[in-house]
Amino acid sequence: MLTFASCEDEEVTSDCFEAVVLDQGCGTVLAILDTAAAQIVDAKPSNDSVYVNTFNLHPIYQVPGKRLYITIQSVPQNEAPSCPGFIPIIYPHIKVLTVSESPCN
């Protein structure tokens, strides 16, 4: 009997973090309100927040001041889209895996 096993990368998900939308331009800048997110994106927190940029947040959530609850995955700098004509992005890039307007369970 022949058996096949598939090798599939497991997607590492983060804890659910509270975040606030700060700005929209080339991507969306979020302030994650938990310094534990700094370990995921390999960045230093600023005060009580970790600032990140994402390119996959749905437009209905891209409202400055909007409070969200998200799970994230870090995106390497070389895999992030370029933004000709925009000021270079200084924040680490993330992929938003899940998003909600209600606190996580």
Give 40-79 pLDDT, tens digit per residue.
999 999 999 999 999 999 999 999 999 999 999 999 888 8
Of residues 3 and 46, the one with the higher pLDDT is: 46
d(CA 64, CA 20): 8
Looking at the domain assignment, is residue 50 inside a domain?
yes
CATH of the domain at 88: 2.40.50
Residue 9 lies in a domain: no
The pLDDT value given to residue 59: 93
Cα–Cα distance between 82 and 80 in angstroms, integer?
Answer: 6
Domain limits at 58?
17-100
Judged against a pLDDT cut of 50, whether residue 6 lies above it is answered with: no
Is 1 a domain residue?
Answer: no
